[in-house]
Amino acid sequence: MCGIIAAIGTEPVLASVLRGLQNLEYRGYDSAGVAVGLDDSLAVCKRAGQISALVDDVRAELPDGTRAIGHTRWSTHGPPTDANAHPHTDCTGRVAVVHNGIIENHEVLKADLRDHGHRFTSDTDTEVVAHLVEQCLEAGDETGVAVRQAIDRLAGSYAVAILVDGDDRVFAARNGSPLALGVGADTFYLGSDAPAFVEYTDEVVYLEDGDLVTLSPTSFEVSNDGQLVTRPAETIDWTPGDARKGAYDHFMLKEIHEQPSAIEQTIRGRLTDDGVRLEELEALDFGAVEAVHFVACGTSYHASLYCEQLLRERGVDAQTFLASEYSGSPPPVDERVLTVAVTQSGETADTLEAVRIARAEGATTLAVTNVVGSTVTRACDHHLLIRAGPEIGVAATKTFTSQITALVLLAERIVQDRGTDIQGYPLDELAALSDNAARTLESPQAEAVARRYADADSFFFIGRGPCYPVALEGALKLKEISYEHAEGFPAGELKHGPLALVTPQTPVIALFSGENDRNTLSNVREVQARGAPVIGVVPEGSDLVYEDFDDVLTVPDTAPELTAVLGNLQLQLFAYHVADALDRAIDKPRNLAKSVTVE
């Protein structure tokens, strides 16, 4: 998704805006640009391509100033060209705008503006904002009024930041697209999320839909529906170093290796001698819940499938829905349903729409997310943070593991409140998960195996029970960053169609948990009979014979439910090393964005 950065203060801010653009690269982009407010003009530099080239051009071409806005664009309206890159300006060059989201009524607005003599130079929906502000200024409106009048005419999702020549302020607004305000000692920042400016301040104000922000060099104010409002500042609990690669070649590899600490952070304070204690959810009576509906997309959907299985095994009616399909045919929902929205960013548009539908039907809603102050935490009745820390790589790794860990705690709390006699989750083993994850990541097996199969035509991932969602996730991770074909299946479904695709060039990665392993082994025999090599992901101490496989990735012996979680770490390493062997852009895979904020 596109990224916004802006800064205003009493000292020059261009360097911090350029640094903010670099911090936003992980979100995915194909062009970028900057506008600087000077004493008597605006200076703009924007380019298709990499930020590194833009930075060189900006330093050579633009003077510094005390207010600036920047943007990383992910193409929607029009191809990635210099003309379509943000910031966009009006006819006179007096107004500069950066924008995330989609302005749904831009064609109507553009037609009206053209009728009034405005000339457009890009294919984007964003450019209408600059011309709307220009039109209001020409009508004699004061700058702040002109901005508000322009924003009021927009329909759709947006976060915008605006500079106007001759005015020493920065204006911004949000509706359905994330925007955060950073409060520094002598500078204010705007960013699509906190990593854009975290090295300059840890004090963040999370803006809400309908907010219009006016920033001066020394103060700011927030209004909503024409009324001044107060939004509390929060202190983020991670440091700039958390959002840097350090000694690792890629953010993804760093974040894979951060999983033991991420698991520990998710669990900390939530496991007691009496079971699970979730302080955030003390007011929620799970005993009154008759059914649990998960809504999620992508990796979060796979984590939800895992938790659905846990609940169903323990007598709780649970279902998982793809959020992108939910609005078309939502299930029957009432006040007896707990709808759990699982989203790493807290800004996933499809998931937020599913939440709105569920709430309208009377369901209690609960967000499971990684981002404090994200939209989903305000859209839901309750929220549970996974506490994984910042994740910069586009492909989710530690957030998936932390989602599963948080959802396990949630499932156990639901079972506790319902007072069922069903055997609970192995909480002692959950407490040891961090240590077992560290042991798994110490293994060098995955790199050698990955390089052996990097040139394969296709990859199949299979598993049963809790291994099935992990098989789906393993396939997704591989296709995301290697661009190779990969599919995940329930192991028993191979013979119902996919087996036709198996060849000696189709490695099959089979996950074993210690339960139903003999059935999965029968499926392994089926693919071996067709010449396919098999990589077994196997718990140590298993009675499986390792010679049954062409290659083996082992994980520490633990409860069957958690074996799958550890197996996922091996699959992440496998995907990473395949992509590395193929020289892919691992942290910024093509066509993908970290946060999907449009439906």
Residue 241 predicted with pLDDT over 70: no
Confidence of residue 195 (pLDDT cuts 50, 70, 90): confident
Look up 398 and say whether it is catalytic. no
Q: What is the pLDDT of residues 407-443, one digit of tens each?
A: 999 999 998 888 765 566 788 899 999 999 999 999 8
User: What's the chain's average pLDDT?
Assistant: 91
Q: Identify each DSSP E strand in 198-270 by its residue range.
A: 203-206, 211-215, 220-224, 227-229, 233-235
Inform me whether the pLDDT recorded for 598 exceeds 60: no
Give 167-187 pLDDT, tens digit per residue.
999 999 999 888 999 999 899
Q: What sign results for the dihedral spanned by CA atoms 342, 343, 347, 349?
A: negative
Of the listed ranges 311-320, 324-333, 477-486, the one predicted with least confidence = 324-333
Q: What is the CA radius of gyration of the chain?
A: 25
Q: Which of 2, 297, 307, 380 is catalytic?
A: 2
Q: Show Cβ contacts of residue 106 under 8 Å, excluding neighbours closer than 6 positions.
A: 77, 125, 128, 156
More confident residue, 373 or 111: 111
pLDDT bin (cut points 50, 70, 90) of residue 288 is confident
> Apex CA 578: angle with CA 74 and CA 297, to 5°?
45
Residue 23 has pLDDT above 70, yes or no: yes
Calpha distance 386→366 (Å, rounded)? 13
Q: How far is CA 152 from the centre of its chain?
A: 29
Same fold, 3-237 and 245-431: no
Mean pLDDT of 101-129: 94
pTM for the complete prediction?
0.83
What is the mean pLDDT of the segment spanning 568-596? Answer: 88
The region, left, alpha or beta by phi > 0 then psi within -120 to 50, assigned to residue 78 is left
Q: What would the CATH number be for the domain defined by 245-431?
A: 3.40.50.10490
Q: Is the pLDDT of residue 597 over 60?
A: no
> d(Cα 255, Cα 394) in Å, to the nearest integer?
11
Give me the residue spans of the domains in the chain. 3-237, 245-431, 442-587
- Work out the end-to-end distance of the chain between its first and last CA atoms, rounded to an integer number of angstroms: 12
pLDDT mean over 201-211? 92
Candidate ranges 158-162, 232-236, 373-377, 546-550; pick with highest mean pLDDT: 158-162
390 vs 119, which has greater pLDDT? 119
Q: What are the start-end ranges of the E strands in 14-131?
A: 31-37, 42-48, 67-73, 88-89, 95-103
CATH class of the domain defined by 3-237:
alpha beta
| Catalytic one of 46, 398, 477, 594 | 594
Q: What percent of the chain has pLDDT over 90?
A: 67
Q: What is the reported pLDDT for 599?
A: 55
Q: What is the pLDDT averaged over residues 492-497?
A: 87
State the pLDDT at residue 351. Answer: 95
Query: Average pLDDT in the 379-403 region?
Result: 93
2 is an active site residue? yes
- Provide the pLDDT for residue 274: 79
Question: Hey, what are 313's tokens?
Answer: 């095994």
CATH architecture of 442-587: 3-Layer(aba) Sandwich (3.40)
